[in-house]
Structure 1
């Protein structure tokens, strides 16, 4: 396979000096592919094609170096799990290595279609041709099915584009999966019939039955308009399986639960853009949820912008997807959030919405008006 078909990963690592950096880079190339000592790598195809190739080593200050290693698409196949395994499998267990860039190359770009819907498809499904999408979260955990369905109904009556399960709603006794999905789907459907709207209910699928793919299909049969998945807990392969299946044909939202350890330490893990932008697009997510700046999780404005850019980059895998910042969204902050993220974004509404109580529908309308007004101002 010609060299220009390879995909490339940029790592930042710490090393004592240039020679140590070179040895560490060669170690990554071996670890991520053949996983044997360099002196016993078989000659021919394995050594020339499968073995990772160190292409760049650049000192970036102090003991930090950036290295680029290229890999053969043959080593990844067409499975997102194996592709991520090559990008950062065993090396993720080593200290002071962080993935900061990924160039898929032509073959990987062809093999991985990415999102089935993307931004344009989500707008078509929701009927929202312009402006940010509004997505209230039904919660809290411990609520009954009736209470959750009532919250969802009020949100849909208020014009929510997406009404999503909280990621803490699984198959607990207080709101079992099958019962909750039917009741909330019916509530959102009745509200849509009353308003003429197109609110979509996204069901949290956890795989409690042993088959998250089958659960997602059962949610679809019960009337769901999309699913929420947690790839940090269940794996990116589930996202890919549903995104690739034409019979499923529902948009997918991915949640960041259990992924914080990958991004929070600057010397290890992956960059925020890689985790919440690039990998989600690779797997086939249509909407990537991440903690918003100013909230309780400590993501910076720069990190949040990098995620949004990776979600929507023209040169990313497949269709551009929608970033979905969660936390800290309010009518008062709408202008700042629209200025920061633009129009192609899903704004999550959680605790602030529940404070509205019986006036929840009005609160959703107020948020819609605030987002639209901020968009008009920015556009004008």
Structure 2
């Protein structure tokens, strides 16, 4: 962008006509309200009014997606672009959200609204810390210069004591993983207090490192109130930890930004709760917008789901999300997409074919831990699948000479449909 306006693209539905709806949106989020006010001078409008930049009709006569809309005509669906003066907003991310994604979702003129793209002035990149490590820094800390960073999640998600979690982490590290993370359900619970669990896991990883010569990244879940997150991040750093995880939708964008400024560790951004913002196609945000905001706030790794996953998301959406994360943006580096959700050796070749890069985390829970020959065989099967993908060798052909991969394919193919 070459000017100081924020541009937001929306997919909207409306029974009042796209032009009238777009005008209402612009007024509601800048200088107007439902009735003219004495203070709405021409000069105020000139400096502060939002502009309707473009309108594109897609279809008319569609059924209304959401209840509560009002208007005289058939429902139209299309795209509108609004621009807002930077002077209205400043560069604070909460203020940005209030402007581009605030009361617009409440307007009775709309039966659907989805924020699908966001272009920000250069001032935003300068004002925010952004990703501290991204792809290159994460590879350096993990000691994985090429290929995917292969990881898993501590499972069962809840119920393990700190001692049990530490023993499992040691087993996973001995199996050769690059990355281990807490489940998003586990932060600081009565049955597994944060500090006890952290110490137990790090002791287990140290014991494993005595045999393997390396310690994997361990993304410990520090999610909580802001003061608690700061304290936990300090504990991780003081005890020699190398990564922290945050449930970003739960802690908020100001919470993540504060943690990024406070800590010198990579931040693994878990997106749990994301479905509420995007699953209905005529409401919420696109991932393109969502990941841009969290990267400005400081996320280094962002979840993107995975191919043939256990959730609702289709494969083309997953790949589009990963490509968005890998795109340098707002003056910051590429971040690391995290493929997870029922991933196993079975999806590796298709993931590489679709994304065309191994700059990613490939995080498998059951796809490693449920391997019939054990965790080490599960890790070996993932690495073998990616070796085949990177070499351009057919997966089944490679499996014929690699028993861990062969067992994985027999175990996990069709598992979600059974």
- What is the alpha-carbon distance in structure 1 between the residues aligned to residue 57 and residue 12 of structure 2? 10
1:275-286 counterparts in 2 under 5 A? 275=290, 277-286=291-300
- What is the alpha-carbon distance in structure 1 between the residues aligned to residue 30 and residue 198 of structure 2? 43
- What is the alpha-carbon distance in structure 2 between the residues aligned to residue 222 and residue 55 of structure 1? 53
**Match for 2:135 among 119, 124, 144?**
119
In structure 2, the CA distance between the partners of 1:23 and 1:244, relative to structure 1 (3 Å rule), is farther
2:321 aligned with 1:307 = yes
- What is the alpha-carbon distance in structure 2 between the residues aligned to residue 115 and residue 208 of structure 1? 21
2:90 aligned with 1:77 = yes
- What is the alpha-carbon distance in structure 1 between the residues aligned to residue 154 and residue 294 of structure 2? 23
| Secondary structure of 1:303 counterpart | helix
Say whether the 8 Å CA contact 1:119–1:344 is kept in structure 2: yes
- What is the alpha-carbon distance in structure 2 between the residues aligned to residue 346 and residue 322 of structure 1? 7
CA shift, 1:45, in A, is: 6.5
Say whether the 8 Å CA contact 2:142–2:217 is kept in structure 1: yes
Q: Which residue does 1:5 correspond to in 2?
A: 4
Say whether the 8 Å CA contact 2:307–2:347 is kept in structure 1: no
In structure 2, the CA distance between the partners of 1:64 and 1:225, relative to structure 1 (3 Å rule), is same
Q: Which residue does 2:78 correspond to in 1?
A: 65
In structure 2, the CA distance between the partners of 1:173 and 1:113, relative to structure 1 (3 Å rule), is closer
CA shift, 1:37, in A, is: 4.4
CA shift, 1:35, in A, is: 6.4
Structure 1 window deviating more from structure 2 (150-159 vs 70-79): it is 70-79
CA shift, 1:46, in A, is: 4.4
Q: Deviations over 1:275-315 (max 9, x none)?
A: 3x323222221111132232221211111111111101134
Q: Deviations over 1:193-233 (max 9, x none)?
A: 43122411111122168632332222322332111111211
1:1-380 counterparts in 2 under 5 A? 4-16=3-15, 20-34=17-31, 36-37=33-34, 39-40=36-37, 42-43=40-41, 46-62=44-60, 63-94=76-107, 95-140=111-156, 141-207=158-224, 211-245=228-262, 248-275=263-290, 277-315=291-329, 318-341=332-355, 342-356=357-371, 359-377=374-392
Q: Deviations over 1:317-376 (max 9, x none)?
A: 511111112112112322122222321111111123222488323322332232233223
Q: Deviations over 1:142-193 (max 9, x none)?
A: 1111221122112222222211001111222221111001111222233234
Higher RCO by CA contacts (8 Å cutoff, separation 6 or greater): 1
Q: How many residues align?
A: 372
Say whether the 8 Å CA contact 2:170–2:208 is kept in structure 1: yes
- What is the alpha-carbon distance in structure 1 between the residues aligned to residue 44 and residue 258 of structure 2? 29
Say whether the 8 Å CA contact 2:243–2:266 is kept in structure 1: yes
- What is the alpha-carbon distance in structure 2 between the residues aligned to residue 303 and residue 32 of structure 1? 29
Give me the TM-score of the superposition, normalised by structure 2: 0.82
CA shift, 1:3, in A, is: 8.1
Determine which structure has more spread, i.e. the larger CA radius of gyration. 2
| Secondary structure of 2:46 counterpart | helix
Say whether the 8 Å CA contact 2:122–2:330 is kept in structure 1: no
| Secondary structure of 2:91 counterpart | coil
Q: Which runs of 5+ in 1 are unaligned?
A: none
| Secondary structure of 2:345 counterpart | coil
- What is the alpha-carbon distance in structure 2 between the residues aligned to residue 312 and residue 291 of structure 1? 15
- What is the alpha-carbon distance in structure 2 between the residues aligned to residue 3 and residue 372 of structure 1? 44
Q: Which residue does 2:400 correspond to in 1?
A: none
Q: Which runs of 5+ in 2 are unaligned?
A: 61-75, 394-418
In structure 2, the CA distance between the partners of 1:3 and 1:160, relative to structure 1 (3 Å rule), is closer
